[in-house]
Chain A
Amino acid sequence: MKLISKTLIYYLLVSLPLLVIAGLLSYFLIKSELRDGTDETLASEKTHAEKLIRSLNALNPIYLTIDSLSTIKLSSGSKLKSGYTDTLVFNVEEGENISARILRSYYSFNGRTFQITLLKTTMEEEELLESILATFTMVLGFLILSFVIVNWLLSKTLWKPFYITLSKLKKYDIKSHEQRHFSSENTIEFNQLNEALSKMTDKIYLDYIQQKEFTENASHEMQTPLAVIKANLSLLMQSPHLKEEEMNQLQTIENTVKKLSSLNKALILLSKIENNQFVDSETVSIKALVSRVTDNFAEVIQSKSISLDIESSEDILVKMNPALAEILFTNLLQNAIRHNKGEGKIVIAIKDNQLEISNTGEPLNIPKEEMFIRFKKNDASKESLGLGLSIVNGIAKFYGFKVHYSFADSLHRFEVFFS
């Protein structure tokens, strides 16, 4: 929910009950004020009526109507309760019942008792109340409307720096570290926020760079010691007095050094891809690339009794670094060979701007989302380093290609969508 909607809701939650209470309170106050006014008028009319009775001095009963409904008449025995009452009277003109206030009193003069009934319609009173209520509703509506407008204007002006910062943060990419400049504002809070963000992103970027450099440097620094080990192993192998067991040990050391150095090379390659160190690109023919790399592996594929099928209706031309293109496809092919089974097959399809490579093999033991993670291996016992697919992923990411993996009908399928 947007900030502006939230503020509005809170505002309404507080203001609505308040407005209702204030409305009711005013309603009752005004109503009682108006009634007091009516009562006072009635009371003064009563005094007037009594004066009238006294001044007439007649022996016959008087029937006097002050207005159409108010009467003074001789009381006939039974007495009605005197005082103020509310009632409904039928208004002939309007043809409906209207509410009225009645003051009834008895007045004795010269041995006779007069019943004074004074009536006053309260129609005006109700109309007044109605218009007050209408005003209240209008005020409420106006308040809400003006609040929405004010809030909108505020978010346009006051909150503007906040939204600018927010959009910068959304676009922030640690690899380029652009958008890092959070401008200073004249609102203290936003200024502090921007300062804190600038500091934070700078720190994160610095850590990121240091970590990246560490991986790179560590791998580079390892090359020379590895070269020393390798060179000395070669020298040691020349010794004519080696026993069989020692030869085996030498072989083990050599294999391990080789693995270590491949690992190192792969890590350096990954960090180079991530550091955008492969800038020069050419137009690469995927068809030619596939036929060159598969030729290179022809013996391997043949020896494993794997059948290879290449379907290419049209060529795909991709603008990328040729070395990376080769690594990308070699890794995919190696993967298809390594995780194949005896008498299996590999199908490579080049079509519609997409390269597809599928191979027979056992289903995955790891979730397929983890496939492209460094050092994640489906089968720990295999000779793989666990870096091939993350290199594929790194190259694809660098060029904005999509790599998709699926498994169906005991076929592992990798699809590369060139963009």
Chain B
Amino acid sequence: MKILLIEDEAELRKTIKHYLHQEGYVVESAADFNKASEKAGVYDYDCILVDITLPKGSGLDIVKQLKDKGSKAGIIIISAKNSSTDKIKGLDLGADDYLAKPFDLAELNSRIKALIRRRNFDGNKSIIVNEIEISSEQRLVKVNGESVNLTAKEYDLLLFFISNKNRVVSKNTIAEHLWGDDSDQMDSHDFIYVHLRNLRKKLMEKGCADYVQTIYGIGYNFKVN
């Protein structure tokens, strides 16, 4: 799985690259418009993360260039400008997703995975983790072949855990993923706990192992061997 990261801020580029590398992706990066344009023109990627404000040009032009070329790569715009006009413009040009800075790496990771899943219609549609099978198109979850009836939030939580399996995800990150901007509304940590408790119960009723580890003070880790 090859990813091109176009981001001018060195520290952020380094960190994202490191994180995605850990996730098992092959990551290449570009720091300015010309480099990015060159790489995007020459090589094929599965996913391209592009910042809008770049030295020497706009990330939106790169999206346009990729689409003109007929590229099949999934495109996620990452921008410091959380502006709806940029978002609409980017999506109109053919970008698949839009993520406003500052974002969580776990969130970025889950967006990349969702994007790749949507792209690979020809391949395996369901996500399988041991006894858990998720068909993301129908939002269906099966444990040992038996379907589990989950609420929307429980489903989102499970998918988010699985997208970030074997990683510590903080409660704040989960809250932001589940509730978006509304997660500012205090007590979201308690709700995560409630949803998680119900999710665990429902999964274990069907004979699923308890994969969720509580990491004291921070959050949770969906540990799969």
Contact = CB atoms under 8 A, between A and B. Distances in A.
Interface in A247-266: 247-248, 250-251, 254-255, 257-258, 261-262, 265
Chain A binding surface, main DSSP class: helix
B187 to A, nearest CB: 7
Nearest to A244: B216
Contacts of B26: none
In this complex, the member of B82, B176, B181, B217 whose beta carbon has the largest number of chain A beta carbons within 10 angstroms is B217
B19 A231 contact: yes
B105 A224 contact: no
B218 A247 contact: yes
A232 B101 CA distance: 14
A110 B172 CA distance: 144
Contacts of B102: 223-224, 226-227, 229-230, 257, 261
Nearest to B173: A234
A277 B85 CA distance: 9
Contact of B80 (A224, A230, A234): A224
A250 B217 contact: yes
Given A235-B18, A235-B19, A228 B82 contact: no
A308 to B, nearest CB: 15
Nearest to A261: B102
Contacts of B181: 262, 265
B103 interface: yes
A228 B12 contact: yes
Contacts of A237: 168, 170, 215, 218-219
A224 B172 contact: no
Contacts of A254: 170, 172, 218
Interface stretch (A87-95, A116-124, A191-199, A295-303): A295-303
Interface string B162-184: 00000110101100100101101
B28 interface: no
A261 B181 CA distance: 11
B105 A231 contact: yes
B146 to A, nearest CB: 27
Interface stretch (A169-177, A330-338, A350-358): A330-338
A220 B172 contact: no
A272 interface: yes
Contacts of A261: 102
A349 B194 CA distance: 31
In this complex, the member of B100, B185, B191, B194 whose beta carbon has the largest number of chain A beta carbons within 10 angstroms is B185
A334 B186 CA distance: 10
A383 interface: yes
In this complex, the member of A221, A234, A237 whose beta carbon has the largest number of chain B beta carbons within 10 angstroms is A234
A246 to B, nearest CB: 9
Given A230-B104, A248-B217, A250-B218, A235 B185 contact: no
B191 A299 contact: yes
Given A237-B170, A255-B172, A277 B217 contact: no
Contacts of A74: none
Interface of B: 9, 11-12, 15-16, 18-19, 22, 80-85, 100-106, 167-168, 170, 172-173, 176, 179, 181-182, 184-187, 190-191, 194, 215-219
Smallest CB-CB A-B distances: 5 pairs: A227-B102, A226-B102, A223-B80, A247-B217, A231-B15
Interface of A: 220-221, 223-224, 226-235, 237-238, 244, 247-248, 250-251, 254-255, 257-258, 261-262, 265, 268, 272, 277-278, 296-297, 299-300, 303-304, 323, 330, 334, 337-338, 383, 385
5 contacts: A223-B101, A230-B105, A234-B106, A277-B85, A383-B184
Given A238-B22, A247-B218, A255-B172, 19 more contacts: A227-B80, A228-B12, A228-B15, A230-B105, A231-B15, A231-B104, A234-B106, A235-B15, A244-B216, A247-B216, A250-B217, A251-B170, A254-B218, A258-B176, A277-B85, A278-B84, A296-B179, A296-B182, A338-B186
